[in-house]
A = this chain, B = another copy of it.
């Protein structure tokens, strides 16, 4: 594995997660190489991201007129192949909160506690009609920082 820019100290980084959601690997998410296709990891990141946002009360806001959460960028490092019957836990944590965006970090562990995926991505809130970015309210920032 080459160095991953969003992880300074792997042990510290790994231990910083508390929230996770179990992920059901679907058969249709495998590919002809016999394992879970690389695209599927972003399906799992999205599922975990939304569960995380719900858990901190930020997904209802998302449905409001004030802004919807949009993915500004995403990245994933594939550490270990995932197979059909693996039991995954997808961990999510906030790594940085800005004025109109925040960064989330992701980690997927399988049933043997092997790290299969790590990743990160920035979320921006945009106005559903104009598409312009919307500043995070102080309430939202607080929810994210204390998450």
Option from B33, B38, B128 in Cβ contact (under 8 Å) with A42: B38
Option from B68, B70, B75 in Cβ contact (under 8 Å) with A74: B75
**Contact at A77–B72, with CB atoms within 8 Å?**
yes
**Contact at B26–A43, with CB atoms within 8 Å?**
yes
Q: Does A84 contact B (CB under 8 A)?
A: yes
Complex CA distance for A123 and B52, rounded to whole angstroms: 30
A residues apposed to B, CB below 8 Å: 2, 4-5, 24, 26-28, 30-35, 37-40, 42-43, 46-47, 50, 68, 70-78, 81, 84, 122, 128, 131
Number of copies of this chain that the complex holds: 4
Complex CA distance for A27 and B38, rounded to whole angstroms: 10
Knowing A38-B46, A47-B26, say if A32 contacts B75 (CB, 8 Å).
Answer: no
Residues from chain B with Cβ under 8 Å of A43 in the complex:
26, 28, 39
**Contact at A50–B27, with CB atoms within 8 Å?**
yes
Complex CA distance for A42 and B38, rounded to whole angstroms: 8
